[in-house]
Homo-oligomer: A and B are copies of this chain.
Amino acid sequence: MIKRNTIQRSLVLQAVQELKCHVTAEEVYAAIVTEHPNISRATVYRNLNQLAEMGEIHKLEVPGGADRFDHQCHGHYHARCLKCARVFDVDMAYIKDLDKAVRDSHGFEFSGHDIMFKGICPECRE
């Protein structure tokens, strides 16, 4: 399974980097399809997942919503608005040692964690 450098994959990577924040596959597709009308949704999904596996982008699986992709790869946490379902970055340091705090418990081999805060965003609250 040698990875090839296709035009489509670089378009997807570029779109995620330019759109900056927590884009969904659909948003990436929409951004690319204006310039390249022939690209397929399946290709966008495939490449987003491949790029995430390769570590070039970060995949954030959102409960109750579409997965989101992020050009930022260092660990950070998110907050989801219960009304508008948008996802925001949270200004809190990544807790590196959190995995270690439970590592021994059940023979489970931890490889990371996500924290998702829930609440109401400023715009939805008035």
A105 at interface (Cβ–Cβ under 8 A)?
yes
Given A91-B106, A106-B122, 6 extra CB contacts under 8 A: A61-B64, A64-B67, A77-B102, A90-B102, A92-B105, A109-B120
A73 at interface (Cβ–Cβ under 8 A)?
no
Taking Cβ atoms with an 8 Å cutoff, the residues of A that contact B are 60-64, 67, 77, 79, 81-82, 88, 90-92, 98-99, 101-102, 105-122, 125
Shortest beta-carbon contacts, A-B, top 3: A61-B63, A107-B122, A110-B119
Q: Determine whether the beta carbon of B101 is less than 8 Å from that of A122.
A: no
* Given A64-B61, A92-B101, A106-B88: A116 touches B118 (CB 8 Å cut-off): no
